[in-house]
Amino acid sequence: MLETELNPKSNNWFSSVEEPKIVTDVNSISWDDEADLVVIGLGGAGIAASLEALEQKLSVIGLDKTSGGGATARSGGVFYAGGGTSIQKEAGIEDSIDNMYNYLKQEVGDVVKDDTLRKFCNDSPDNTKWLIDNGVQFNATYYPKKTSYPDAGHYLYHSDNTLVPSYMEKAYPAARGHRGFEEGPFKPIGVGGTIYYPLKKAALAKGLKIYQQTEVKALVIDNSNAVLGVKCLMLPSGAVREKYKKLISRGELFQMILPPTYPGASFLRACGAYFINKAHKLSKKHQQIKFIRGKKGVCISAGGFIFNREMVKHYASKYSQGMPLGTSCDDGSGIRLGQSVGAKTTLMDRVTAWRFLNPPHSFAKGIVVNKAGKRFTNEMVYGATLGDAMCEDQNGKAYLILSKELFNAAKKEASKSLPFQRDAARMMIYFGSKKSKNLSVLAKKYGIDLDGLRSSIAKYNESFFNNEPCEFGKAHKDLSPLTGTLIAIDISIDARVAPLPTLTLGGLVVEEKSGAVIGTNGEIILGLYAAGRSAVGICSNIYVSGLSVADCIFSGRRIGKTLGAN
């Protein structure tokens, strides 16, 4: 979806971002600070742009609403890399640039030019080395089975669809999910810090200047629409800033305890909102207006807009019941900053939705049907592939059908999974399932068409007993007969005990060799660049684990290199 002519005066702006401040020339304003590059948002893309620019001998100022990290630091810490990385070679994994490209072309489609995807693959081993050189640790312990996330002690795995037969027709399988390595007990949230914090440490050592608790409200431009810098609201250092940080931290902690659809979550989220609102009141009272100049450019890397629920409803209403994934700062402000000076956006309706079935592995041996009782996918596909098919083509409705044998096996498998996988599976098993020996009764419980469901089960069983793959290409070893007592689990986008994580993928359109932002008329907006989920990139068609972090590194470094060459 392409949107033009949107500005802060539009009814559907849904943002506090202001109109740009126009000055006659760069010296007609009193700048409070300046650097060659000013970075808005210090998540994965912002820190990559900063560090690369510093290595190009440029000065950099980073501005962040919090203390930095963004969705990257909150993530599972997976970096998608291939083509023969040092970690792949150490693990004995065969891969090549062409093989990586042939696989990713199936996922990426046409959202970026073929030359850009080829460069992403070609640069992948070097980007991995760059991370390692800057303190990021990986590990070559390989997990060979299909899973959404490897168990403790495994760090290299198939974080995509490479093990699915239909994808293997164009590219041989190679593990490309490089999970950041850390000592100590496994933590499902924040493992992304294994990638982010070493980069931040390296950037600070090389001269990065950071203004924390700083919100950019507007861009500063000249009469020709060239971007000169930013207008921001900054909290003074000291007791006020520390109090603000504590309030925000406490509020976000309350809001993260339970998914929003779980019983009791509304109370916890209200508690969280109380502390966050107190922080915002404190901020408004003490914020100071500052103007920061970017002598060579300004980089927008402030994330997507999944936490701006008005924007989600406006652009991608079919995902409005999904669970936001990322941080509360993913409010679309970066995208709106670009649009305030006439930037073009596209793919604003693209959202990734993650419906993972494996682990437990036995879940994926069942079948997923729609309201008509029809199957629509291979259940072994990566969770975002399943979620996309469910939300884009099935109105967000889907139901997992299991035999009693598979259901009991899933219980045992779940107990051996990582805590966040175990708990999610147990919620579906114990609170989200319905069973019956009578198929008509089971279908009626969820309003599933009986004839369609009966036909789907019969066809699936026929494939199993004929010792052949199913109609959607699921290998025979991954089939299991659906007979006797059957169990149905609601895995729809609005399933109360099975929240569906969602993340926006669209954003500002950029010139793909430089990262420069493009205007609605196809012109380059001088001095303005974008990276990460504020911009259209490698993962803007569909998601596989680690691809967004990898695109953040790729697109962030691209900007640093561009400015270093100018």
Instruction: Report pLDDT digits (tens) over 120-164.
Output: 999 999 999 999 999 999 999 999 999 999 988 899 999 999 999
Q: Which band of pLDDT confidence, cut at 50, 70 and 90, is reported for residue 261?
A: confident
Closest to 202 measured CA to CA, from 3, 56, 51, 401: 51
> Is the peptide bond prior to 173 cis by the omega test (within 30 degrees of 0)?
no
* DSSP-derived secondary structure for 126-158: HHHHHHHHTT------EE-S--SSPPTT--EE-
pLDDT at residue 186, as a whole number:
52
Q: How many CB atoms lie within 10 A of CB 216?
A: 28
pLDDT for the residue 252 = 85
The tens digit of pLDDT for each residue in 291-306 reads 999 999 999 999 999 9
Mean local confidence (pLDDT), 268-284:
91
pLDDT of residue 4: 55
What pLDDT score was predicted for residue 2? 46
Residue 397 is encoded by which pair of tokens? 């409705």
What's the token pair of residue 70? 């963004």
Q: What is the pLDDT of residue 1?
A: 43
Residue 120 one-letter amino acid: F
The fold of 21-74+207-235+287-352+501-565 is: FAD/NAD(P)-binding domain (3.50.50)
pLDDT tens digits, one per residue of 81-106: 999 999 999 999 999 999 999 999 99
Residue 540 has pLDDT above 60, yes or no: yes
State the pLDDT confidence band at 258, using cuts at 50, 70 and 90: confident
How many CA atoms lie less than 13 Å away from 334 in the CB half-sphere? 37
> Mind listing the pLDDT tens digit for each residue in 173-205?
999 999 999 876 555 556 899 999 999 999 999
* Residue 165 DSSP SS3: helix
Burial class (CB in 10 A: 0-12, 13-18, 19+), 74: buried
Domain extents in the chain: 21-74+207-235+287-352+501-565, 78-179, 237-286, 355-490
The answer, yes or no, to whether residue 469 has pLDDT greater than 80, is yes
Per-residue pLDDT tens for 297-339? 999 999 999 999 999 999 999 999 999 999 989 999 999 999 9
pLDDT in tens, 202-247: 999 999 999 999 999 999 999 999 999 999 999 988 899 899 989 9
Helices (H), 326-468: 333-340, 361-364, 383-393, 404-415, 419-431, 439-446, 450-465
Q: Which fold has domain 355-490?
A: Flavocytochrome C3; Chain A, domain 1 (3.90.700)
Is the predicted pLDDT of residue 420 greater than 90, yes or no? Answer: no
CA pseudo-torsion sign 345, 48, 151, 155: positive
Q: What percent of the chain has pLDDT over 70?
A: 98
